[in-house]
Amino acid sequence: MFINAMKSKKSLNLSVDPIGIILGISIILIWALSLYVLLKWDFDYTNPLVLFGILIQTHLYTGLFITAHDAMHGTVSKNRKINKILGQITLVLFAFNSYNRLLYKHHDHHKFVASEDDPDYHESGNFWIWYWNFIKKYTTLKQLILMTISLQLLRFVFPLENLLLFWILPGILSTSQLFYFGTYIPHKDGHEHGNKHKSGSLKKNHLWAFLSCYFFGYHYEHHDSPGVPWWRLWQMK
């Protein structure tokens, strides 16, 4: 199976229970609570906390996807059912993504990194062209329909401007964050890195690595030890 095959020898010695489950559930709950508070907030655009709220929600959105990503590597829980359930929940919250669909695409990314068979790679190296192709490849009509229906229903409960500012916008910004730090920067010079994973890596700065993308800027390390969960990835640096 893919999940077992992707584990390195290092990861086999790492305990992912119960910390992975606790962190995964915590990210879900904090995201939901933060979103509820922000959607109920009678804010003023001149308040600097508005920007802070957007940034916090963006970071939490990224955390949802990173949790799902760890589930694809089997590192949220040793229990395969719990692992998959948390992956499915976080991806549904992240714009109704399909866990099974992304699982196989991510498998191909690791197997064919920085090649024409890599679904995350674009040979142009151009940020905007690459990002646009990335969005098209991972966004489906079903997702857009479900997001539109959800937005219209939620308008009966929350103000539209709150929904756009604290629900829709952070989700879009999160995709940019994930793409830039987790795909574009590590792989844009894939064939020039001179290593077996064709991947670059951020310079060692654990605080920035966490804030930017939950340590996935340490991308060579992730490809070298794909069974290491995000919260231990800094130890591989």
Dist CA 79 CA 92 (whole Å) = 20
Would you place residue 192 in the very low, low, confident or very high pLDDT band (cuts 50, 70, 90)?
confident
Average pLDDT over residues 108-113: 92
Mean pLDDT of 196-217: 94
Query: Helix or strand or coil: residue 31?
Result: helix
Determine if the peptide bond prior to 18 is cis (ω within 30°).
Answer: yes
Query: Residue 191 has what pLDDT?
Result: 66
Query: Which of 106, 124, 111 minimizes the C-alpha distance to 178?
Result: 106
Give the pTM.
Answer: 0.89
Q: Is the pLDDT of residue 76 over 90?
A: yes
Give the pLDDT confidence score for residue 190 in this predicted structure: 64
Cβ–Cβ < 8 Å for 207, 199: no
As a whole-number percent, the residues of the chain with pLDDT over 70 amount to: 92
Task: Check: CB of residue 68 under 8 Å from CB of residue 99.
Answer: yes
pLDDT of residue 36: 98
Q: Check whether 19 has a pLDDT greater than 60.
A: yes
Residue 195 confidence (pLDDT): 85
Q: Span 68-84, mean pLDDT?
A: 95
Q: Which residue has the higher pLDDT, 35 or 188?
A: 35
d(Cα 118, Cα 107) in Å, to the nearest integer? 9
The stretches of 94-196 forming alpha helices (DSSP H) are 99-111, 127-138, 141-154, 160-163, 169-179, 185-187
